[in-house]
Structure formats: structure tokens, C-alpha cells
Amino acid sequence: MNFFDKLQASILQNQSLLFVSLDPNPELLPAHYTSEDIIANLHNWLEFIIRETSDYVCAYKPTFGLYQALGIPGLELLENTLAIIPSHIPVILDAKHSDLNSSTVFAHRVFTQLNVDAVTLSPYTGQDHVAPFLVYLDKAVFILCSTSNPGAEALQKYPSEESPLYLQVVKESRNWGTPEQLGLEVGTTNTEVLARIRSTAPERVIMARSIWSQGSNIKEILAAGLNKNGDGLLIPVPQDILSQPQLAAQIQSLRAEINQAKTDIVGNASTCALWLPDVSVVSLHPQQDLILQLYDVGCIMFGSFVQASGATFPYYIDLRKIISNPQIFNQVLTAYAEILNHLQFDRLAGIPYGSLPTATGLSLRLHCPLIFPRKEVKAHGTRRLIEGNFHPGETVAVVDDILITGKSVMEGAQKLKSEGLNVQDIVVLIDHEQGVKARLLDHGYQAHSVFTLSEITETLYQCGRINQEQFLAFYESTG
């Protein structure tokens, strides 16, 4: 069971959106814990919190830094605390990990040794930092995109209120992983910030933080953070009530208040977005509806676009938006799977970093282990060329998003082969044509594509999405 399935099951079982921070902060320790052994006091308090709340919350969130600050006894306390959390309730380790150099080692530590279900990460080092965590398909990450600290506003709201940095973090991180593996951590006392993030990432689970300020209105918080289905939002238990003797009763009361507010909100919002093809032509391609949807959401555009090389093309393709639309993403995975089901391989490999979300989704869909070749090999740490577990001699099917020159996918395949793996098949969504498949075949790789760029253009023209001028401009540019 992956993290988000486990989370959803916990939400349903306990009928709760609440999560509890398990923070061994000596300054917050209730006064009645009087033993001279501070670690024993903290353990007893944390055990009390878990015992009192385990029937009323959906997740626990230990703050890694506080355990680290207590030294070796603190790390032992963390392991002992994790051991008493009921196994059906997911654990989100609040680490705010931000070091690219140690990301692979840290991911292995928290996911295989501590066996937590998710971890919070800092976004500043980008997708390179997140990728080693996404190799663990049943785990998840939460990307920090906003904090409530007043001193952070100068950074988070830069360069302007209209286009703040925190929203850019949300937009970029949506391209790093699927909704099943990547959520957002949002610390704010401002419901407008929460609403803007929800609007930008309607498909993501949001773990809210620092929402309890004087005069907080839970109904406004839920209205800002819930998705259209009335879920996708985790609410923190206020830290000050964790030291109260009647903790269970207070948690039940808070849960009831949240559930009633949620019911009121969901009951007043019963809309459902539905995409329809709005064409009546005979299907030109088995994936006609998918082509039209990719065009309608802006993944495929026709016009005049300057490329990185300086050349001007009459089209532009941006497939990063796919993973933010679950309906389309599901169809893309199905299209890939129809090809992969006819191939023989032991593992899947995604080419970093654009195709990693797709490769992850396919790994889950096909129940096949995932690996990926690093773009670069670090001069420190494990210096691993390939992330994930594998055995030399195995056959790997390579997944990429688009074939333009074939350079990046051949470089990735060569890295896999250098570690003793066999690469025979390469599967992509779009083939730019121009003889790329033939060049790959010359190097011993059989390339497969869901559709070609000319098939896309023909379909869009016949269905009325592009006009004759755009249609002819495409063929003039491709010779």
C-alpha cells in the first residue's frame, strides 16, 4: 500500500483530517513529569499523546531536528516512539531535509531503517534533491512551499504579491512527482495564501501548518484548503492542547467541529468538471481523445516559439503539465502500459528528470521495480550512477517523455549498460520523427512511441483544433 492509500484509509477509519506533531521539546513538557531522566519523561509524554489520540487522528508527524538535538538518546527516543505508533497510521517525518549531497543516504535511512511513510523536504535544490526519495514507490514527500514565519515574507513574497516565490515553488514541484508521491507543506495564518496554493495545485494533498492563530476560523481554513472533492487537506492538532490531561476529549471535540464544517462546505459545492472531445469526426488515431486533451490543457501548442537554440518553431511541447491533471495522466499511463505489456523486461528505468513521474506511475501500475540513471555522478557520498536496487544481467525497459535527437535517452541507456544491465526497448509518448528511431536502432535500441508529432498534427487539424495555416507551417518546418 502506498502512502496516500494508507493515509486515505486512516482518514476513513478515524473519520479525521487531524495529524499530531510528536515533538520531544523539553520546554513544552507538562509539569507533572518530574523524573530527573528527561528522556524518560519525554518518552512517557509522547506515549501518552499517542495513546490518547490514535483513534482520532489520521497521521503522526515527529520533528526530526528535535530528536537530533537530544543526541544519541534522542535518536533512540525517535525509534522507540515510532515503534508504539499503530501500524495503520502513517508517519510523516518532519525533516525539512535540504542537502543534495546526502539525499540518497538520508532517503535510505528514513524509508528503510526508520520505516516512516513520508518525509518533508526543502525545495531550494530542486528536483535533483527530490528524485532519490521518489525511488521508494510506496513512500511520499511533502515539499515545503510556505512558512508562517514573518521574517520569511521578504523571500516568500518576492518579487511581487501577484507572482510570489511560494507559488513558483508550488508550480515547479508539481512537475517533480505524481500526486500519489508528492504533497505540499503549507505553513500560514493567512487563508488567502492557502487558497492560492490550493487553486494552483488542486490535485495535491496539503499538510497545513501554523494555522491556529488568535481568531482562527476553521470553516474558512477548510474552505480555502479542501479540494473539490472535500478532501486533500491535513489539519494540525494545536500544540498547546497536547499537554492537557483530558487530551482525548479535546481531540474528539476538535474532530467533530472540523467534520461538521467540512460537511457544510461539501454540501454547498457539488460541481464536477468533465472533459468532452466536442468533435464528431471518425477517429484518426487510437489515442485521439488523449491528443485533444493534451492540446486543450496546453501541453501541445501551435504558434511561433523560440527554442533554446535560437531557432523558431511553429509548435511547442510542454509535457510537465500532465501529472497535474489526474484524468489525463491516467490515460497517458494506460497508453504507455499498452506498449510495455508486449515487451519483456525485469525493471523500468526513467530518464531524469522529466519522465520520472511517468516512470513512477508505470512502476506502480505494472508492479515493476523502478531505477533511474543519475544525470551526474557526485564526487562525494555513495557516488552511485544508478539510483534504486538492481542486479547485473537484468533487462531494463527505458521510459522517456519525448524523442527529439535521442541523445539524452542514449546517454541514460549507456549508463545502465555500464552497470551490467541490458537495454533493448525505449518507450516514449511522442516521437519527433526525423529518423530518430532509426538512429536508436543503429545503436541496438528498439524505440516505441504512443504517437508521432505528425500524427498529433493531423489529428488536431482534422478535429478543428488548429487551422490550415498552422497545419502547413508545421510541415514546412519539418521538411
Contact 119, 95 (CB under 8 A): yes
- Closest by CA to 437, choosing from 452, 447, 428, 423, is 447
Binding-site positions: 374-375, 378, 380, 400-408
CA nearest to 362, candidates 395, 342, 338, 386: 338
Say what the pLDDT of residue 216 is: 74
Q: Which long-range contacts (CB under 8 A, 24 or more apart) does 66-69 make?
A: 66/23, 66/24, 66/25, 67/24
Shared domain check, 394 and 437: yes
Does 217 share its domain with 363? no
Using the predicted structure, report yes or no on whether residue 78 has a pLDDT greater than 80: yes
Tell me the CATH number at 396.
3.40.50.2020
Q: Is 331 a domain residue?
A: yes
In a domain, residue 145? The reply is: yes
Domain assignment of residue 252, yes or no: yes
Binding residues for 5-phospho-alpha-D-ribose 1-diphosphate are 374-375, 378, 380, 400-408
Query: How many structural domains compose the chain?
Result: 2
3-state secondary structure 87-108: CCCCEEEEEEECCHHHHHHHHH
Inform me whether the pLDDT recorded for 381 exceeds 60: no
**Model pTM?**
0.71
Domain boundary among 214, 241, 270: 270
Which of 270, 302, 331 terminates a domain? The answer is: 270
DSSP single-letter state for residue 150: G
pLDDT band of 54, cuts 50, 70, 90? very high
| 159 and 79 in a common domain | yes
Category of 230 on φ-ψ map: left (φ > 0), alpha (ψ -120 to 50) or beta: left
Work out the average pLDDT over 444-463: 93
- How many helices (H) and strands (E) in the chain? 18, 17
Residue 271 confidence (pLDDT) above 70: no
Residues 81 and 180 in one domain: yes
Arithmetic mean of pLDDT, 299-327 = 79
Whose cell is 498534427? That residue is 457
Q: Are residues 359 and 385 in the same domain?
A: yes
Q: Do 7 and 123 lie in a common domain? A: yes
238 and 132 belong to one structural domain? yes
Asked if residue 226 has pLDDT above 70, the reply is yes
**Domain identity same for 27 and 90:** yes
The pLDDT score that the predictor gives to residue 99 is 93
* Residues contacting 23, CB < 8 A, separation 6+: 62, 63, 66, 239
User: Mean pLDDT throughout 441-461?
Assistant: 94
Residue scoring higher pLDDT (37 or 307):
37
Q: How confident is the model at residue 464 (pLDDT cuts 50, 70, 90)?
A: confident
CATH number, domain containing residue 234: 3.20.20.70
Q: Which among 77, 20, 28, 81 is positioned nearest to 54, based on CA atoms?
A: 20
State percent of the chain over pLDDT 90: 64
The per-residue pLDDT for range 383-440, each reduced to its tens digit, is: 688 999 999 999 999 999 999 889 999 999 999 999 999 999 999 999 999 899 999 9
Q: What is the pLDDT of residue 278?
A: 63
Q: What is the pLDDT of residues 341-351, one digit of tens each?
A: 999 999 999 99
What CA–CA distance (Å, rounded) separates 299 from 430? Answer: 12
Is residue 218 a contact partner of residue 258, using CB atoms and an 8 Å limit?
A: yes
Within a domain: residue 396?
A: yes
Write down the pLDDT at residue 279. Answer: 62
Answer yes or no: do 246 and 342 share one domain. no
| Pairing mode, strands 370-373 and 386-387 | antiparallel
Statement: residue 282 has pLDDT above 60: no
The reported pLDDT for the residue numbered 232 is 93
| pLDDT score at 189 | 86
Examine the domain organization and report whether 411 and 292 are in the same domain. Answer: yes
Provide the pLDDT for residue 217: 86
> By C-alpha distance, which of 254, 214, 268, 339 is closest to 16?
254
- Of 139-153, 242-256, 264-278, 315-329, minimum mean pLDDT range: 264-278
Report if residue 279 sits inside a domain.
no
Interval 437-444 mean pLDDT: 94
Q: Report whether pLDDT(197) > 90.
A: yes
Residue 280 lies in a domain: no
pLDDT tens column, 233-270: 999 999 889 988 899 999 999 999 999 999 888 876 65
Is the per-residue pLDDT at 309 higher than 90? no
pLDDT of residue 63: 97
Picking from 270, 295, 315, the residue at the C-terminal end of a domain is 270
The label of the residue with cell 499511463 reads 333
Calpha distance 301→123 (Å, rounded) = 29
Q: What is the pLDDT of residue 448?
A: 97
Kindly state whether residues 260 and 307 are assigned to the same domain.
no
Residues marked as catalytic: 96
Residue 282 in any domain: the answer is no
Range of the domain at 235: 3-270
- 224 within some domain: yes
Grid cell listed for 178: 505524481
Are both 257 and 314 inside the same structural domain?
no
Mean pLDDT of 215-221: 84
